[in-house]
Amino acid sequence: MFRKLKKKIYDLYVKYINKASELQEEVKNTRFTKKMPKLIATFCGASLVTAMSPMTVFAASTASIDKFVAEIGKWLIKIGVVVAMVGGVMFALGWQREDSEGKSRGLLTIMAGFMVAAIGAAPSAFGFSA
């Protein structure tokens, strides 16, 4: 019985190995594997050359973008202050529980909130007129 089981397992193994080698030969002989890498390389090369070529672009007016950035800046300040307040609560709760990880997460959240608020308050740092 053990020999029959062993023979059956071996036959299945050989069958799958043969099937895999047939699939490998079929893939090697297809048109896709011969022509597609050349087409992909050509397309990527042409795209790269196009993307790397210098262009001169002028904007007619940036007034609408500046208004949009000013509005977004106001919201960033508000969101940053809320995040800083949440960080303050996290820090206080970490202090109450004597949890050093909670304290550090709270301080990091406070810093992140003030960074977001600072980004919203200084659009001129990013090239926009406020």
- pLDDT tens digits for range 26-42: 666 666 666 777 777 88
Same domain, yes or no: 47 and 72: no
Same domain, yes or no: 6 and 42: yes
Same domain, yes or no: 67 and 119: yes
Same domain, yes or no: 40 and 91: no
How many Cβ atoms from other residues are within 10 Å of residue 125's Cβ? 9
Domain that holds residue 36: 2-52
Distance between CA 10 and CA 19 in Å, rounded? Answer: 14
Distance between CA 106 and CA 103 in Å, rounded? Answer: 5
Q: Is 117 in contact with 76 (CB distance < 8 Å)?
A: yes
- 125: pLDDT strictly greater than 70: yes
- pLDDT tens digits for range 37-68: 777 788 888 888 888 888 777 767 777 888 88
Provide the number of structural domains found in the chain: 2
